Structure formats: C-alpha cells, structure tokens
A and B are shown apart, each in its own frame.
Chain A
Amino acid sequence: MMRLRLVTALLASAAAFVAVSAQAQNLVTKDRVGPADAPKSFTLRLTNDGPTSTDPVWAEGYQKLFSEFIQRHPGWRIDLERMSDNIGQEQARMLEQAKSGQGPDCAAVDSFVLALFKGANVLKPLDEYFTKEEVADLFPFIREGITGPDGKIYAWWWNTDLRVLYRNKDIVPDAPKTWDELKAAAIASKDKGMEGVLFNGGRWEGTTFDWLANFWAQGGKLVDDKGKPIFAEGENREKFLKAVNYFKDLVDSGAAPKRVATIVNYDEFNAAAAAGTAALFIGGNWQYGQLKNTLEPEEFEKWTFSEIPGPTPDQRSTGTGGWTFGAFSSDPEKVAMCAAVIKEIYAGPGNALQQQLPTAAALYGKYDVFKTPANETFAKALVNGQARPGVPIYPEISNQIQIMMGDVLSGTKTPEAALDAANTAVQAAFARL
C-alpha cells in the first residue's frame, strides 16, 4: 500500500513537472510570449538578442527569462517582432513607422541612431521607471546618449562594447601607450616574422569607428551642437589630418601591411592571430572571448589587451557602441511594460547571458561573469568611451572617411586632398538633409 502511494506521488509529481514545463514552453513561441488570449498585449521588436536568437544558448536563456517575466505579469502578452540583420535599413524603416504612429510599442534601437529617434520626438520618457541612482550609475557617455535636451531619459542603453589594442605578449611584452610606441613595437614585431599592426582600413563602418578613437583622443569633433559637420574646419582639421597621417605613416613605414586597406571584418584579426602571423591588432572587446575559443589554451595565454594608444599617454579614447530600448507607445501601461522588460530581462540578466558589457558600474560587481580581470579592464577603459554622434549626417561622414582612408592608404590621394574631397561630399549631403 505504501509503495503504491509512493509510486502514485512520484507519477503525479512527474506529470505536474511535465505540465509546468510544457506550459513554460508554450508561453514563449516564435512570435509571442504569454497566453494567446491575454486581455492586454504590446509589441516588442527585437534583434538577435531575444528568444528567437540564432545562437541556441542565447535563445534558450532568453526563453527562460521571458517565460519568468510573463508569469510575473499575468494578463499580458508580448507580440514579438524580429528585425533582419540589415540593421541600417531596419532602423530607418522603424523610424518612418514611428513617425507615422505605426511603430512597435517597444523596440531595440541601435545606439548610434538613437539621436535620430530622439530628434524625431517619437520616444516616450522613461524617467519614472528608473531611479536617479540607477541613471547616475551609468557611464557618462551612456547617460548623455539617452538624455534629451529637456533632461529626460528617452531610452535605456543596456549593453556596450569598445575597441582595444590586442597584443601577443611573447612578441610585444609591454603595452604601447602612444602612437610612436605602437609604430616601434609593430616594426619590431616584423623582425620576428609578424605582419606588423593590423586594423580595419577597408570600405565598412569598422574602419571609421576604430580610427575615430585617434581623432577623438585629441579632442576632435565631427559635428557641432546642431549636427553640422565641422571636422574639416579650424583645429578639427589639424587633428583630423594628424590622425590620418598617423595611419598613413604606419602603412608607409611598414609598421602595418598595405593589406589593411582591404580589411572589412574583425574576423581577419582572429584568423591572423590563429595563423601566428600577427602580434598586434586593434579589435573589439568581444574578440577576447573569440580568441579564447579559437586558440589553443597555451596560445591564448600569450594574448592580452590594453587601451588604444593615443598621441600622448594621457590622450586616450575608444569607440563605444551598443543597443538601447525605447518605448513608442502612447499607452502609459505599455510604456511601463517596456521599462519592465528592460529592467527585468535585459539590463543585467541579458548582459550576463550574452556576456555583453553592462552600461552601469554596479552591474560589474553583481554578476560573476563580469568580475574577471579582462572584463574589469574593459570596464575601466569605458571611462574613455566615445559614442558616434547620433546625427543624420553621420552615415555619410563615415562613408566619406572610409573612402578617404582607402585613397590615402593606397596612395591615390594625399591626406589633405582626400579630406577636402570628403568634406565637399559631406557638406553637399548635409545641404540635402
């Protein structure tokens, strides 16, 4: 009799477990979170950072986070929308939709176009959902990025990244702190059979973004407060040319190979590191994990990173990107749910799940994954972080810098002529905006 009761209890427990699991599974589908017949719903437009992620670990992690979230908010359903990988097009389309009142209730907004959304007055303030302490804990460039001219916050920037100088310690023992030190270290590495220093120099956004650190380190400005391009005027022109000449000198002196003008992918650096042909490259923080997965443990041990060298040891900068969430809905309840998604799923748990750098100092102490020496160093470097100006003309500025870099590094144009051509094109495009 006792045995029968035990078996019955076990079966009942198993059935209950299966039922609960199935329910949790059913709560998150490809296009919905929560019961289909929930009385209230809102739309959430995501990138790959969500329950439908192509990365199975991220997908599973987000399914769990979303499932727990919707159980804490009964009566709600989230209608999921997924952006394609063509982010530029997606964000432009979403801005058009939001302007005509057809946008999603809540959505992922790329940090470098956030200012366009703020300027179009389509985002709802999120101040009442975040404490002053939480806002104050954000890195300065993050806080500045999400704050509107009226002092209110219009989005929540939940993850970020930065660029650093990677080096093979066996070949380059000391971290170069200045441009001259980097050039000398790169030339010295060539004597040991290496290619010299590698960086993005082809026709793509990475070229502009990585190089801009050298311009920003001198205090250069691409646009004025009104968004007008001023990079070719006055002191900015000098700083701009100095930064261009620095890259040109790296190539002309042989410190960097000519092929940098063809590099349009960070993966090229991983490949060179794996092949043992490069000892120095300027890459993204996420590449540290990629190197760990790619290289043999004893090879990976040789690699480390440091801040991108500046013209002087005190003049440092690094480009920072990342993703934000913004609310477009006019319904305060939906805006509140959007803020809840940000706080309960993304800012913290999402960072830990994807190992993407949080934007608030407190989160680095909260999650073990960010307590590693590498992530602590990344966090310190974020103090010198600089975001791209979120103005409508930025994409064309970037395009022209890429063209200029190709022309200068391949010797087709002098830096001065290339800068003048870039400025002419940018000013013409600005006049048409």
Chain B
Amino acid sequence: MQTTQTAAMAISRRVAGPSLGRRLEANPFTWLVPVAVMLGVFYLYPIIDVFRLGLTNASLVGNEERYTLATIRAMFENPALVDILWTTFLFTFGSVVGQQVFGLAIALLVMRGERRKLPGMVALRTIVLIAWVIPGIANGLIWQMLFSEAPFGAINSVLRLMHISPVAWLSDPNMAMVSAVLSNVWRGTAFSMIVFYAALKAIDPTLYEAASVDGASGTQKLRFITLPQLRAAILVNSILVTIQTLNTFDAIISLTGGGPGRATEVLSLFTFNTVFRNYDLAGGSVLSVLMLAISLVLALVYASFLPRREASE
C-alpha cells in the first residue's frame, strides 16, 4: 500500500514538473536580475535622466522645469563649441598617440630587460605605475609647479642653467596645450604600458626565433611580428585611452583652469563649467550626451578594426 502511495506521489510530481524554486534556480534571468537592477539604478537611470534633462530648461537655481528643445539649440549654436571640440580633439589625439608610443616603448624596454635578466626591471615598472595612481588634481598641481614660469619655476630654472631660453609653458596658448598633453601622457603612459606588457608576454617566442633564423633585424621584427601581433591590444587600448581622455578634466582644471582664454578648455571641463558656473543643468546634460555620443562613435570605429575570428574557428 505504502509503495503504491509513494509511486503515485512521484508520478504526480513528474506531472506537475519541478518546483517553483527549482524552476527559478534553473532560469538564468533569476541570476541576472540583481545585476540588472544594480546597473539599472546606478548606471542606466542616471543616463536616462541626463537625456531627459537635456530636453528641459532645468537649472540649479532656476524656474519651473519644462520640456523644450531650446537648450539643445542654444548649446549647438554656442560659437565657443567649435573651438572647444577642436581643443578636445587636439588634447585627445595628442594624449592617445603619446600614451601609446611611450607605453609601448617602456613595455618593450621592460621585456628586453627581462629577457636579458637585467636588474631593476620590477623597480622600473613600479616607478612608471606610480604616475598612474596619482589623482588627476595632484597630477595637475605637480605639473603646474614644474611648468611654472616664475623665476624659480622648476623646468625653466634647469633650462636657464643650460643657457637655454625659458619656455612660456602655460602663458602661450599653443604651448599650454602641449603642456596639458604632456602632463596627461605622463600620467596615462603606465596604463598603456601594462596593456602592452601583457600583450607582449602573450606573443609566441618561436615567431622571433624563426625571424632570427631568417636573419631579420630588430626593426623588421618590430614591424612584421610585434606590431601585427599587438593589433588587438593597440585598438583596445585606443578605445580605453580615448574614453578616459575625453572624460579628463581634473588634471586640466588644476593645471591651467582651461586657460589662457579657452586654449585648454576641453569638452568635459566646458560641461563642468556649464553646470556649476552657469547653473545650467540642462545645457550640461546636452553636452554630456554629446560626450557620450563622441565616445560611442569613436569606440565603434576602433572596434570595427579589431581582428575577427575566422568562421572555421
């Protein structure tokens, strides 16, 4: 009798299917919901709100909020925007190229040193990394002291000792941009170095051995083995450094404040000024969306060059 009851229960369970708990457990959405909620609340909602604010006349001190396209029009009709975008392009382009070149050079140097078992390679990596962990504001202040055009300014004092004319690092609009790029490259090179160092480690050493057997020179190895093998790393690094540079304003605000004039006022600093100096929340939101769009477009362009896996793989 008992055996019959147990069998009946088992059949009924089979007919009813697994319990709700088991079904939830098996469903991937159950596991994704917490992450989705977190991302939604802390990332997606603010982005949506920025889009919404861009369609209003919202102000930090202002009047009643209403929906309007006038903010978008006002921001895009601002005659300063073209100059700001050009400045942003120069700063970003200079920083991305500089960080890639110096990052790759240091990574190659470290690899070469390690291969030859030279002492101090770990110390070299650590020293380069120190620049990376310095906060942007501190980075700006450090370089402000170095670039100071006062008679006691650090770099100019050294130049004077070498009987070289001092340079108008920050008071000349063109040099101010060079100085801003230099300080940003100094800080960001470590990140590129790490990316390239990891990618260099992953290159199959037999490729270099084969090239050596064929009598390839160092330059040829760099051109025909290292750089093609690093293609994916260079592109990924470009995406990351571009987005990071587009968002940089702390280092500039403490180095030049965006001056002289607007010579170093990049889009992120312009956005900050729009919100916290003009109290123009809506205008700042439009500019933020513009920054987002530029970052996305550039990321997509870079990504289109990424090597793709063959269909057969």
A interface residues with partner B (beta carbon < 8 Å) = 88-89, 92-93, 95-96, 116, 120, 195, 201-204, 257-262, 264, 268, 271-272, 275, 277, 392, 395-396, 398-399, 402-404, 406-407, 409-410, 412-413, 421, 424-425, 428-429, 431-433
Q: A261-B171, A395-B277 are in contact. Are A406 and B259 (CB under 8 A)?
A: yes
B213 within 8 A of A: no
Question: Complex formed: what's the CA distance from A431 to B74 in Å?
Answer: 10
Contact yes or no, B279 A92, CB < 8 A? yes
Question: Cβ of B260 and Cβ of A392 under 8 Å apart?
Answer: no
Asked if B171 and A258 make an inter-chain contact with CB atoms under 8 angstroms apart, the answer reads yes
A-chain residues with CB within 8 Å of residue B152 when the two chains form the complex: 271, 275, 277
Which single residue of chain B is at the shortest CB-CB distance from A198?
B150
The answer to whether the Cβ of B44 comes within 8 Å of any Cβ in the partner chain is no
Partner of A88 from the list B70, B262, B277 (CB cut-off 8 Å) is B277
Total contacts A-B at CB 8 Å: 122
Q: Given known contacts A92-B60, A262-B170, A396-B277, is B259 in contact with A428 (CB within 8 Å)?
A: no
Residues of A near B74 (CB, < 8 A) are: 428, 431-432
Known contacts A195-B151, A262-B256; is-contact A89 B276 (Cβ 8 Å): yes
Complex Cα distance, B140 from A202, in Å, reads 15
Which residues does chain B contribute within 8 Å of A95, judged by CB atoms?
60-61
A272:B61 contact, CB within 8 angstroms = no
| Total residues of chain B contacting the partner, CB 8 A | 38
- State the CA gap A425–B270 with chains docked (Å): 13
A402 interface neighbour in B59, B148, B259, Cβ under 8 Å? B259
In the complex, A95 Cα to B72 Cα: how many Å?
Answer: 26
Does the CB pair B149–A257 fall under 8 Å? yes
Q: Whole-angstrom distance between the alpha carbons of A432 and B280 in the complex?
A: 8
Q: A88-B277, A92-B61, A410-B173 are in contact. Are A203 and B257 (CB under 8 A)?
A: yes
From A89, A262, A413, residue with most partner B Cβ within 10 Å:
A262
User: Does A261 lie within 8 Å of B150, measured CB to CB?
Assistant: no
Write out, one digit per residue, whether chain B residues 243-261 have a CB within 8 A of any chain A CB (1) or not (0): 0000000000000111111
Q: Chain B 292-310, CB within 8 Å of chain A: the 1/0 string? A: 0000000000000000000
> Known contacts A268-B150, A406-B259: does B276 contact A425 (CB below 8 Å)?
no
Instruction: Give Cα A432–Cα B282 distance, bound, in whole angstroms.
Output: 10
Complexed CA–CA distance, A272 and B149 (Å): 11
B80 touches A (CB below 8 Å): yes
B283 to A: closest C-beta gap in Å? 7
Chain B contacts for A277, CB-based, 8 A: 150-152
In angstroms, how far is the closest chain B Cβ from the Cβ of A93?
A: 8
A431: nearest chain-B partner, CB-CB: B74
Instruction: Report the minimal beta-carbon distance from B230 to chain A, rounded to whole angstroms.
Output: 39
Residues of chain A within 8 A of B263, CB atoms compared: 406, 410, 412
Say whether A204 contacts B257, CB under 8 Å. yes
29 A-B residue pairs with CB within 8 Å: A88-B277, A96-B60, A116-B61, A201-B260, A203-B256, A203-B260, A258-B171, A259-B168, A259-B170, A260-B171, A261-B260, A262-B149, A262-B171, A262-B256, A264-B257, A277-B151, A277-B152, A392-B61, A392-B279, A398-B277, A402-B259, A406-B259, A406-B261, A410-B172, A410-B260, A412-B263, A425-B80, A432-B57, A432-B70
Other A-B pairs, 5, CB within 8 Å; known A259-B149, A412-B173, A428-B77:
A259-B148, A272-B150, A399-B273, A424-B79, A425-B79
**A184: min CB distance to chain B, Å:** 22
Q: What residues of chain A lie closer than 8 Å to B170, measured between beta carbons?
A: 259, 261-262
Closest to A399 in B: B277
Q: How far is the CB of B270 from chain A (nearest CB, A)?
A: 10
CB neighbours of A433 from chain B (8 A): 59, 62
